[in-house]
Amino acid sequence: MVSEHSDATEDEMSALALKILVAGGFGVGKTTLVGAVSEIRPLRTEELLSEAGQLVDDTDGVDQKVTTTVAMDFGRITIRSGLSLYLFGTPGQDRFWFLWDELSQGALGAVVLADTRRLEDCFPAVDYFEHRHIPFVVAVNCFAGARSYNAQDVSRALDLDQGTPVVLCDARDRDSGKEVLIRLVEYAGRMHTARLLDSVS
């Protein structure tokens, strides 16, 4: 006879946990997205913006922002039974990019959040994941008052590789954020399968 404890252990062992990065420019909504979708209280490493930081952080367009992530955000969401995503929000400023190499180890893929008012801010994240062949989707965080663009316009403006998904989202909304993550898992799954087939052909 199998005990309830044994059943729980077998379920846990069969569960799949995938690592996902949430990246993008300063003030684009990474912490907000992780917090909105996480089913646990998210870990945050936010500090108040300082006068010294004003000399290096471009707050144009995000004047209301008073804190910034200095290490990472962490959250978890269950997509379906047996499939959980561990979310790691990366810091947006250049001076914290040395953390990205550590955070990206073992990642299935990434979400690059974009703000069409500051679209150039997500170029470094796009370049980072393209050069390391890490599958990613671009999620356009639709801010109130910002001019709206369709996915094709954003794809052209960022000069994305053909097939890279672009989705529109509201980083504050759990369902919207979950849809972004589902798109990423599906896309990353196709990319990894294609690479595996190429390697054995």
Please state the rounded mean pLDDT for residues 57-66.
51
Burial degree of 103 (CB within 10 A; 0-12, 13-18, 19+)? buried
pLDDT band at 58 (very low <50, low <70, confident <90, very high): low
Helices (H) then strands (E): counts for the chain: 7, 8
- The model's pLDDT over 7-55, given as tens digits with 9 standing for 90+, comes to 545 555 568 999 999 999 888 999 999 999 999 998 866 555 445 445 4
Q: Which residues contact 39 (CB under 8 A, 6 or more apart)?
A: 75, 76, 77, 78
Closest to 23 (Cα-Cα) out of 15, 33, 14: 33
Residue type (1 letter), 27: G
SS3 168: strand
Global pTM reads 0.80
